[in-house]
Structure 1
Amino acid sequence: MAPSSSARMASDAASAGPSSPAEAVRPDSRQASGQGSRQGTLTVAQGTALSVGAVLGTGVITLPALAADVAGPASLVAWAALVLLSIPLAATFAALGARLPDTGGVSTYARRAFGDRAAGAVGWCFYFAIPVGAPPASMMAGGYVADVVGGGRTTTLAVAAALLAGTAAMNAMGLRLSGRVQLALAVALAVLMLVTMSLALPHGDSGHLSPFAPHGWGPVAAAAAVLVWGFAGWEAVAPLSAEYRNPRRDVPRATAIAVAVVGVLYLGLAATSLLVLGPATGATEAPLSDLLAVALGDGARVLTAVAAVLLTLGAMNAYFAGGSRLGAALGRDGSLPPALAKGSGPGEVPRRSLGVLTLGGALSLVVAAVLDLGLTPLMLLATGCFTLVYVVGTGAALRLLPRWSLGWWTAAVAFVATLGLLVVNGLHTIWALGIVAASLAYRSRTPRTGS
C-alpha cells in the first residue's frame, strides 16, 4: 500500500495514449464551457486533505466497534480487505480525474463511456445520496458531544444541525477557504489519532485477539458490508479534479498520499481498539473516546468529542464541496434543471447547487428527528447509492482507459470488487435504483442540451 505504487498506477493510466474513439478523449462543449478560462486553486496538500477527510470521516468514530460486534477480532480481515480495495479504486478515480478533469466527476466519466442517460443516472445517485448521508454522519458526532455534555438526543440533533449549517457556510465561501480549513483539520486529526494509538497501545493485550473468529468466518463479509460506509469517499472528490492547479500531475499524487494515510490510520485504530478494549470493543458506542480514556483518564473524553466534530466536519466539507460542483455540472449538462448550472466552472462557487444539498440535508434531519430514526437506515441508503456510483465509475474506466494497460487492469480489479460490494448491500440498492429510474424519467421529458 505504498504511495509510490498507487502513484505509478494512477499516473500510468493518466499519461497513456487513447485507445477508444476520439470522442472519448476530446473535451466536449459542455466541459469546455467554463473550464478553459479559469485555473484551479487546489494544491496537492489541500487535495490530499479533502480526500482523507472524505474517506476517513465518521468511519473513525463508530466503525471499529460496529465491525467488532459483528465479527470480533476477525473484523481486522474485513478492514484489511477494504484498505486493499481502496488502492485500485482510488487509483482508478485518480487516473480518470487526471485524464478528464471536470466538475462533473463520475458523471462526466459515465457520459464519455456510456452516454448522457448513464451520466445523469450516476450523477443523481451521488448527488441525492449526500443529503441522505449527511444526517447520520453529523448525528454520530452529535452523539459524542451528548456523551460529554448531556442532553441526549436533543444535543445530538442540535450538533447535527450546526454541522450542516457550518459545512454549507464554509463551501459558500469557496474552495480556497474550505481547502485550507480541510488541510488544517486533516493534519490535526491525523496527529490526534496517532497520539491516541501510541498512548493506548501499551495497555493492549494480544490475548484479546483470541479467539480470532468467535462467530466463524461468515460474519467477516457482514462486517465488510458495515465498513463500506467508512470507505465511501473516493468518488466524492472526483468532481474536484478540475480545481487542481495541475490535474494531470497533482490528482494522482494527492490520491496516492491519501490512500496511504487512510490505510494506516484505519488499520491502526481498528487493531488498537481490539488489543486495548478487547471484547468491550463491540459493545462501546465511542471506541475512540474509550481509547483516550484508557490512556489519559475520563477527562480525555472531551478531546474525543472535539475530534468527532472535526472528523465529521471534514467529511461533510469534502462531500458538499464535490457534490455541489457535481450538481452544477449536471445542471450545465441538462441532467438537472439549468438553474443549478451557475458556478460550474473551476474557481466558481455553485451556491444554488449547494443550497439544494443543504435544504435536502436539513429535510432529512427533520425526518430522522420526527420519526426517531437511528443511524443505520439512512446510512445504508447512502451506502447503496455510493456503491452503485463505484460500479458505474469503474465500468466507465474500462471503456476510457487504454485497454490492457496497468491502469485498465487496475480498473478491472476495482470493477469486480465493487460489484461484490453491491451484492453485499442487498436490498438497500433498491433506493439507488429508484433514483436511477427518476433520473431516466427526468431526462426523457427534458430536451437535450449541449452538442
Structure 2
Amino acid sequence: MSTHRIGLGQGTAIYVGAILGAGILALPALAAQVAGPASLLAWLALLLFCVPVATSFAALGARYPDSGGVATFVAKAFGPRASGAVGYWFYFALPAGAPATAYVGGQYVAHTLGGGESMALSVAAVLLLAAFISNTFGLRISGRLQLILVGVLAVLLLIAVLTALPHSDTANLTPFAPHGWGAVGQAASLLFFTFAGWEAVTHLSGEFRDPARDLRRVTMTTLAVIAVLYLGLAMTCVLVLGPDLARTDAPLTLLLQRGTGPAASGVTAVMAMLLTFGTMNSYLAGASRLGAALARDGVLPAPLSKGHLPGEVPRRSLALLFVLSALVCVFALATGTQLGDVMLAASACFIAVTVAGLVAGVRLLPRGSAVWWGAVLAAVVMTVVLAFSGWFLLLPLVLGGVAIGWSTWTAPRRRTAAPPVEPALVAQEAEAAE
C-alpha cells in the first residue's frame, strides 16, 4: 500500500483547484454588467465570507481527519443516517457536476478558438477523461500534476494582469455604482459559486501528513492565493477594459489582447482547459474517497470500500463515478437536457452538503469560539442560498431518502459484521476522551 501523504504545496494546489473554475473567465464581465465598477465590492465581500466557511471546514478536518469528509462530521454530530444522506448528496451529484464543468470549459475553448459544438464536446470529453485517468494513479501523481497545473495557471493569470496594468485608467472607476448599491448584492449572488468548493476537499483530510497542523496552513495559503488572483484579475479588468468589460463575453481574452497581442486566444484557451481540469481533478479526488468511506460504513455496497484508507487509491469508487458520469452524458445528449438544469441540480446537492457540514460544525466546534461563530454565520447565509434552489431541492431529498432506506435495509448485516474503523479516527476519539 502506498504511504504517500499530501504536503503544503500539493494540498494548496488541490484546494485552489477546487475553488477556481472556468467561471472566472467570464464572470468579471457578467458582474460588471450588473453592478459596474462597484462589482469589485462584491468580489471583496465574497472573499471575506470565504474566511468563516474555510476555517470551519479546516477546524473540522483537523479534529476528524477521514475520507468521509463532511459525511464524517455529520455522523459525529447527528448520527450515521444523516451522514449517509449527506454522503449521497455529494457522491451522486458529482456525475452531473463533472460533465457540466467539462462542457463549460469546452465551450469556452471552442468560442475562443472559433470552433463549434463538435469542438466543445470533444474538448469536454478529453478533459473529463484526463481527470479520471489522473486520479487512477492516486494522489502521488494527481497531486503533483495539480501542483504543476495550478502553478502554470497562476503564472498565466499574473501575466494577464501585469501586462495589461500599464493600460489601466482610473477614470474607468467612474461612475462607480451606475446601477445603484443594490446591484452589488446581485453581483455577489452571480459570483457566489466561483467561491464554492471548500467542502469538496474535506474528504482528503486524512491524506495530510499532519492534519491538525497542515489543514490550517493549507487553508490560509489557499485563501491568500485566491484573494490575490480574484481581486487582481477583477480590478485589472475594471481599470483596463472600462466600459468594454460589460460588453464582452470573454474578458480575459480582451485583457490579454491589450497586454500580449495576437497570442491572447491561444493563452485563454489553455487557461480554460487548466481551470476546468483542475476543478474536476480536485473534486474527483475527494468524491472517490468519499464513496469508499460510504461503502466502509455500509451506506454503499461493500466492494466499493477498497481504497478507503489514507494513502490508498479508491479505484472501484472512481470507476463507478466514471460509469455514472458517462450515463449522465448520454442522457443529456439524447434528451437535449439544458446545461443550466444539470448544473442547478448538482449545485442544490453541493450547497446542501455545505450547509450540513456547517451545521455539524456548530454542534462540534468549541461553543463561543471565533471559529464557532464563523460556522454559525456561514450556516445561516448558506441556508438562505440553499432555499433559492427551488424545485431542484427535490434531488437532495430523494437521494437522502434512498440513503436512509439503504442504511435501514443493511443495518442487520452491519451489526454482525461491523466495518473497520480508521486508525486516524481511533486516535481522534482517544484524544477527545482524555
TM-score (norm 2): 0.90
Q: Matched residues in 2 for 1:446 and 1:186: separation? A: 42
Instruction: Give the corresponding residue for 1:101.
Output: 65
- State whether residues 40 and 242 of structure 1, in contact with CA within 8 Å, keep that contact through their aligned partners in structure 2: no
Instruction: Give the corresponding residue for 1:8.
Output: none
Instruction: Give the corresponding residue for 2:395.
Output: 431
Instruction: Give the corresponding residue for 1:262.
Output: 226
Instruction: Give the corresponding residue for 2:432.
Output: none
Q: CA deviation at 1:383?
A: 2.1
Confirm or deny that 1:422 pairs with 2:382.
Answer: no
- State whether residues 157 and 369 of structure 1, in contact with CA within 8 Å, keep that contact through their aligned partners in structure 2: no
Structure 2 counterpart of 1:287, from 251, 269, 272? 251
Confirm or deny that 1:160 pairs with 2:160.
Answer: no
State the SS of the aligned residue for 1:191. helix
Q: CA deviation at 1:424?
A: 4.2
CA distance 1:394–1:148, shift in 2 (3 Å): closer
Matches within 5 A, 1:214-253: 214-253=178-217
Q: Which amino acid letter does the alignment assign opposite residue 139 of structure 1?
A: Y
Instruction: Give the corresponding residue for 2:137.
Output: 173
- State whether residues 51 and 258 of structure 1, in contact with CA within 8 Å, keep that contact through their aligned partners in structure 2: yes
Instruction: Give the corresponding residue for 1:110.
Output: 74
Matches within 5 A, 1:53-92: 53-92=17-56
Q: Matched residues in 1 for 2:125 and 2:86: separation? A: 28
Structure 2 counterpart of 1:445, from 409, 420, 423? 409
Q: Which amino acid letter does the alignment assign opposite residue 141 of structure 2?
A: L
- State whether residues 398 and 411 of structure 1, in contact with CA within 8 Å, keep that contact through their aligned partners in structure 2: yes
Q: CA deviation at 1:435?
A: 2.5
Q: Which amino acid letter does the alignment assign opposite residue 369 of structure 1?
A: L
- State whether residues 113 and 269 of structure 2, in contact with CA within 8 Å, keep that contact through their aligned partners in structure 1: no
Q: Matched residues in 2 for 1:132 and 1:283: separation? A: 31
State the SS of the aligned residue for 2:307. coil
- State whether residues 145 and 156 of structure 1, in contact with CA within 8 Å, keep that contact through their aligned partners in structure 2: yes
Instruction: Give the corresponding residue for 1:143.
Output: 107
Q: Matched residues in 2 for 1:336 and 1:309: separation? A: 33
Q: Matched residues in 1 for 2:3 and 2:158: separation? A: 36
CA distance 1:433–1:76, shift in 2 (3 Å): farther
Matches within 5 A, 1:335-414: 335-414=299-378
Q: Matched residues in 1 for 2:367 and 2:319: separation? A: 40
Q: Matched residues in 2 for 1:424 and 1:264: separation? A: 30
Q: CA deviation at 1:164?
A: 0.8
State the SS of the aligned residue for 1:445. helix
Instruction: Give the corresponding residue for 1:47.
Output: 11
With 197-206 and 427-436 compared, the bigger mean Cα shift is at 427-436
State the SS of the aligned residue for 2:290. helix
CA distance 1:437–1:282, shift in 2 (3 Å): farther
CA RMSD of aligned residues (A): 2.0
Q: CA deviation at 1:77?
A: 2.4
- State whether residues 113 and 265 of structure 2, in contact with CA within 8 Å, keep that contact through their aligned partners in structure 1: no
Q: Matched residues in 2 for 1:376 and 1:70: separation? A: 20
State the SS of the aligned residue for 2:410. coil
Instruction: Give the corresponding residue for 2:426.
Output: none
- State whether residues 37 and 177 of structure 2, in contact with CA within 8 Å, keep that contact through their aligned partners in structure 1: yes
Q: Which amino acid letter does the alignment assign opposite residue 298 of structure 1?
A: P
Q: Matched residues in 1 for 2:324 and 2:246: separation? A: 33
Q: Matched residues in 1 for 2:164 and 2:189: separation? A: 28
CA distance 1:59–1:394, shift in 2 (3 Å): same
Q: Which amino acid letter does the alignment assign opposite residue 397 of structure 1?
A: G
State the SS of the aligned residue for 1:233. coil
Instruction: Give the corresponding residue for 1:328.
Output: 292
Measured against aligned partners, the alpha-carbon deviations of 1:55-75 in whole angstroms (never above 9, x if no partner) come to 012232222223233333332
Measured against aligned partners, the alpha-carbon deviations of 1:42-100 in whole angstroms (never above 9, x if no partner) come to 11110011000100122322222232333333322222221111111111111111111
Q: Matched residues in 2 for 1:215 and 1:342: separation? A: 55
Instruction: Report sequence identity in percent.
Output: 51
Q: Matched residues in 2 for 1:307 and 1:49: separation? A: 15
Confirm or deny that 1:275 pairs with 2:239.
Answer: yes
Q: Matched residues in 1 for 2:236 and 2:328: separation? A: 34
Q: Which amino acid letter does the alignment assign opposite residue 324 of structure 1?
A: S
CA distance 1:268–1:443, shift in 2 (3 Å): same
Measured against aligned partners, the alpha-carbon deviations of 1:199-242 in whole angstroms (never above 9, x if no partner) come to 11222333333333333334433333332221121111100010
- State whether residues 103 and 346 of structure 1, in contact with CA within 8 Å, keep that contact through their aligned partners in structure 2: yes
Equivalent residue pairs, number? 415
Q: CA deviation at 1:447?
A: 2.0
Measured against aligned partners, the alpha-carbon deviations of 1:153-192 in whole angstroms (never above 9, x if no partner) come to 1110111111111000000011100010111111111111
4+ residue runs over 6 A deviation: none
Q: Which amino acid letter does the alignment assign opposite residue 439 of structure 1?
A: A
State the SS of the aligned residue for 2:406. helix
Q: CA deviation at 1:401?
A: 1.4
Q: Which amino acid letter does the alignment assign opposite residue 319 of structure 1?
A: Y
With 83-92 and 401-410 compared, the bigger mean Cα shift is at 401-410
CA distance 1:129–1:242, shift in 2 (3 Å): same
- State whether residues 225 and 425 of structure 1, in contact with CA within 8 Å, keep that contact through their aligned partners in structure 2: no
- State whether residues 4 and 140 of structure 2, in contact with CA within 8 Å, keep that contact through their aligned partners in structure 1: no
Can you give the 5+ residue segments of structure 1 that lack an aligned partner in the other structure? 1-36
Q: Matched residues in 2 for 1:112 and 1:222: separation? A: 36
CA distance 1:352–1:38, shift in 2 (3 Å): closer
- State whether residues 38 and 345 of structure 1, in contact with CA within 8 Å, keep that contact through their aligned partners in structure 2: no
Structure 2 counterpart of 1:311, from 255, 275, 278? 275
Q: Which amino acid letter does the alignment assign opposite residue 128 of structure 1?
A: F
With 211-220 and 405-414 compared, the bigger mean Cα shift is at 211-220
State the SS of the aligned residue for 2:119. helix
Q: CA deviation at 1:38?
A: 7.6
Q: Matched residues in 2 for 1:342 and 1:187: separation? A: 32
Q: Matched residues in 2 for 1:72 and 1:370: separation? A: 40
Q: Matched residues in 2 for 1:204 and 1:426: separation? A: 42
Confirm or deny that 1:212 pairs with 2:176.
Answer: yes
